[in-house]
């Protein structure tokens, strides 16, 4: 029993199907946003838009906690340099959650202007030589500069083996840690960006409250991920008087065309559907001086989008007669550091915040990294035995939510002893995964039919959505000698790609159920998408930054989920099997991630009477609250805890659906 040949046995080219589907949906939304966008041509319009964007952003990341009254700033070491010193310090953005930083302090009493330096994705973070050089340029010109390690970088690694001290999750200059933690926060309907933004606000407190800093002259800058932190901070906090986000601006439309990925804290669920783009953040800064640094050959933030975003921003600034407060500098570089953007960014800070004209630093005198550590071993987790981690914060937040929320249910009983109403659960599942979306007429077509080993096998394909189209495939196997006449939809983890190795299993299932449909939801088996090799070092398909990650994250930008789309495809397979066999109810059999698809399909329809789940993944709450969990990009979902796995299982039990595990 073979699987399908290339291009659905030569019937349909599906190699780019999921990506094309997502891009077409995004294109239509971009057009709607463009047509409906109100001009930001008055101060009132800009201020109203700023409030709208800020509220949307805060809602998307799950809000922000209160800043501490006392951050317990502790200077652990100081290095005297020529014309300045560097203080190595820690502070607590939340109790037991330490932030490590270097504070560059110029000679003289001040008060000096201050700059918060947000680090991008480089593992060494604040002690990276290029980041040191940028900070030295600023301190030499009279700025107090606070360079901060983001969570997951520098001295703030979150996942390490206590016996070996080595990282359990790492790579990509912090990207992998951010995405690993980000998946957990996403399950809870929040975004790990909340941690970054809160830390940055607390860092701004530390800077502003220094006796040698003029709190009316605060600026913020950073590149790449640090540039996004700069944008987020300036959106929610009105204290910065100058902003300089670098290599972190484009348009979502230009970015989507490239096939690029972006990591968890930079990725905001529903941004495309909500019509929120990078320019909407920048326009919200008006009228404070804004320097946008960009790179002509930036491989992450296309320069065409930079020009478009800055032009939109200038129009908003013009409402304040402040278009001159916006400057774009494009360096002849690839994606690069603040320092690599050269003198214009430092000149801008000196002109807008400083006490004199910019003077280029002749000798940067970069320090060996370990000398700038704020903790003895370069690790907050080693330095503070009771140090909390980013998943501790989420776990405590969820526990706090649970104490104030009650489920909407009236029958049965959940693991927590709460009542379960299967009708409510079904509604939640259908809403969570948008399962009432428009369905295409099935119109199944056979590519071939085989007879052998007592089975009739048909290879079929059918559409589940139309315009843009989604084609799914399935192998329909019938055993005429079987006594059972309750057919089953089978969801192998890799669909029909697991054939012919699973031929005996299919034959056994056909004997047990009479007829089975081994289905390939979009992106699986015979309708798998081609690998998207951007960046070119990605080679793990279902891991962080692989093709599955890319497609799943693109779906989230549309306020949808690839996981939910596949559940929808399974439901359409249920309808096809019901029509093909003339039965009212079917069974579902799933394995691995396919078991998750089968479970949620069963929870969403009344036409399933039995479910077999093999190697069902852990519940989403369990994964969200575990320090280490089995990351799988195929399980990328936002805000799923209200219809978590245990709740759906309980609802099926109340309905009398037999569940075998």
Residues written for the chain: 661
Distance in angstroms (rounded) separating the CA atoms of residues 208 and 114: 7
Q: Per-residue pLDDT averaged across 56-60, rounded?
A: 99
DSSP bridge partners of 245 = 222
pLDDT tens for each residue of 320-378: 999 999 999 999 999 999 999 989 999 999 999 999 999 998 888 899 989 999 999 99
Kindly give, in sequence order, each residue whose CB lies less than 8 Å from that of residue 66, ignoring residues fewer than 6 positions away: none
Q: Which of 525, 497, 491, 527 is nearest to 509 (CA)?
A: 491
Distance in angstroms (rounded) separating the CA atoms of residues 250 and 306: 4
Q: How many CB atoms lie within 10 A of CB 577?
A: 24
Tokens representing 580? 């093909």
All domains of the chain, ordered by start, with CATH? 43-398 (3.40.50.1820), 414-493+529-660 (3.40.50.1820)
pLDDT tens for each residue of 198-240: 999 999 999 999 999 999 999 999 999 999 999 999 999 999 9
pLDDT tens for each residue of 597-647: 999 999 999 999 999 999 999 899 999 999 999 999 999 999 999 999 999
Q: Are strands 84-94 and 74-81 parallel, antiparallel or unpaired?
A: antiparallel
Round to the nearest angstrom and report the end-to-end CA distance of the chain.
Answer: 26
Residue 484 above 90 pLDDT? no
Q: Which of 641, 653, 596, 642 is nearest to 409 (CA)?
A: 642
pLDDT tens for each residue of 244-264: 999 999 999 999 999 999 999
Distance in angstroms (rounded) separating the CA atoms of residues 242 and 190: 29
How high is the pLDDT of residue 540? Answer: 65
- Phi and psi torsions of 170, nearest 5°: -170, 170
How high is the pLDDT of residue 404? Answer: 66
How high is the pLDDT of residue 408? Answer: 56
Q: Which of 229, 319, 284, 235 is nearest to 39 (CA)?
A: 319
Cβ atoms of 152 and 383 within 8 Å: the answer is no
Tokens representing 316? 């908003």
- The pTM for the full model equals 0.96
Distance in angstroms (rounded) separating the CA atoms of residues 473 and 526: 7
Distance in angstroms (rounded) separating the CA atoms of residues 530 and 515: 31
Distance in angstroms (rounded) separating the CA atoms of residues 153 and 151: 6
């Amino acid at each position: 029993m073979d699987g399908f040949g290339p291009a659905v046995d030569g019937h349909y080219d599906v190699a780019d199907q999921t990506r094309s589907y997502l891009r077409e949906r995004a294109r239509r939304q971009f057009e709607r946003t463009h047509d409906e966008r109100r001009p930001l041509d008055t101060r009132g319009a800009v201020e109203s838009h700023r409030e709208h964007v800020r509220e949307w952003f805060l809602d998307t990341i799950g809000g922000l906690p209160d800043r501490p009254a006392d951050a317990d700033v502790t200077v652990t070491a100081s290095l005297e340099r020529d014309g300045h010193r560097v203080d190595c310090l820690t502070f607590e953005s939340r109790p037991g959650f330490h932030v490590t930083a270097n504070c560059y302090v110029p000679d003289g009493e001040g008060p000096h202007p201050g700059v918060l330096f947000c680090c991008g994705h480089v593992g060494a973070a604040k002690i990276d030589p290029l980041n040191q050089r940028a900070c030295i340029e600023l301190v030499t010109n009279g700025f107090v500069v606070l360079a901060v390690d983001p969570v997951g970088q520098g001295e703030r690694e979150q996942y390490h083996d206590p016996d070996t001290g080595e990282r359990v999750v790492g790579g990509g200059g912090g990207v992998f840690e951010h995405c690993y933690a980000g998946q957990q926060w996403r399950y809870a309907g929040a975004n790990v960006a909340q941690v970054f933004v809160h830390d940055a606000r607390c860092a701004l407190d530390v800077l502003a409250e220094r006796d040698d800093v003029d709190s009316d002259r605060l600026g913020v800058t950073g590149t790449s991920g640090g540039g996004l932190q700069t944008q987020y901070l300036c959106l929610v906090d009105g204290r910065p008087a100058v902003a300089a986000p670098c290599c972190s601006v484009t348009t979502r439309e230009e970015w989507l065309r490239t096939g690029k990925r972006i990591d968890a804290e930079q990725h905001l669920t529903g941004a495309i559907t909500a019509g929120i783009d990078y320019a909407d953040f920048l326009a919200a800064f008006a009228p404070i001086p804004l320097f946008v640094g960009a790179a002509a050959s930036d491989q992450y933030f296309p320069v065409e989008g930079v020009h478009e975003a800055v032009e939109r921003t200038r129009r908003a600034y013009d409402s304040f007669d402040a278009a001159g407060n916006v400057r774009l500098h494009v360096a002849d570089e690839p994606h690069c550091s603040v320092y690599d953007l050269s003198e214009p960014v430092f000149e801008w800070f000196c002109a807008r915040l400083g006490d004199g004209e910019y003077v280029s630093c002749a000798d940067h005198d970069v320090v060996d990294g370990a000398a700038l550590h704020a903790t003895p071993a370069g690790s907050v987790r080693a330095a503070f035995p009771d140090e909390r981690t980013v998943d501790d914060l989420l776990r405590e937040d969820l526990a706090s939510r649970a104490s104030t929320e009650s489920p909407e249910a009236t029958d049965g009983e959940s693991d927590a002893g709460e009542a379960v109403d299967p009708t409510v659960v079904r509604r939640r599942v259908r809403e969570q995964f948008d399962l009432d979306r428009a369905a295409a007429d099935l119109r199944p077509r056979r590519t071939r039919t085989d007879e052998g080993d007592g089975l009739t096998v048909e290879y079929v394909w059918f559409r589940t959505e139309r315009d843009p189209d989604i084609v799914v495939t399935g192998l329909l196997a019938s055993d005429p000698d079987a006594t059972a006449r309750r057919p089953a939809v089978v969801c192998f983890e890799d669909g029909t790609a697991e054939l012919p190795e699973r031929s005996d299993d299919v034959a056994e299932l056909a004997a047990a159920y009479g007829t089975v449909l081994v289905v390939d939801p979009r992106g699986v088996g015979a309708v798998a998408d081609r690998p998207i090799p951007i960046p070119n070092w990605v080679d793990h398909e279902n891991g962080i930054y692989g093709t599955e990650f890319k497609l799943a994250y693109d779906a989230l930008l549309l306020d949808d989920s690839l996981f939910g789309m596949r559940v929808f495809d399974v439901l359409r397979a249920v309808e096809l099997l019901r029509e093909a066999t003339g039965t009212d109810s079917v069974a579902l059999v799933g394995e691995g991630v396919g078991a998750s698809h089968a479970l949620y399909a069963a929870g969403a329809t009344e036409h399933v009477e039995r479910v077999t789940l093999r190697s069902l993944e852990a519940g989403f709450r369990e994964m969200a609250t575990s320090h280490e969990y089995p990351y799988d990009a195929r399980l990328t979902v936002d805000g799923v805890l209200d219809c978590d796995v245990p709740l759906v299982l309980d609802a099926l039990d109340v309905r009398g659906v037999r569940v075998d595990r």
